[in-house]
Amino acid sequence: MAYKEEVKTTYITSVICDKCQKEKLLNAGNQLSWDGKMNGAIHYGYTFEEKGNGFETICAKCQLVT
């Protein structure tokens, strides 16, 4: 007996603000590269600030409050 199995993987990429926890969908479908993730977040008004050994992601609304 032979059978064929097809596995389909769907990638969902989103960005989350570290201050208000607001989540924005960047892409659904194909996997984004690191540059694609960064450019997508910047396109939606998110910025990145150095904090400790990493970065803090901040949405446009929280940037106005700070």
pLDDT in tens, 13-52: 999 999 999 999 999 888 889 999 999 999 999 999 998 8
Number of folded domains that form the chain: 1
Assigned domain for 59 exists = yes
Assigned domain for 5 exists = no
Assigned domain for 45 exists = yes
Assigned domain for 4 exists = no
Considering the entire predicted model, what is its pTM?
0.75
Domain that holds residue 47: 11-65
CA distance 3 to 5: 7
Please calculate the CA angle 12-18-24 and round it to the nearest 5 degrees.
35
* Residues paired with 24 in a beta bridge: 15
Assigned domain for 50 exists = yes
Q: Are the CB atoms for 17 and 57 separated by under 8 Å?
A: yes
Assigned domain for 18 exists = yes
Assigned domain for 3 exists = no
Assigned domain for 42 exists = yes
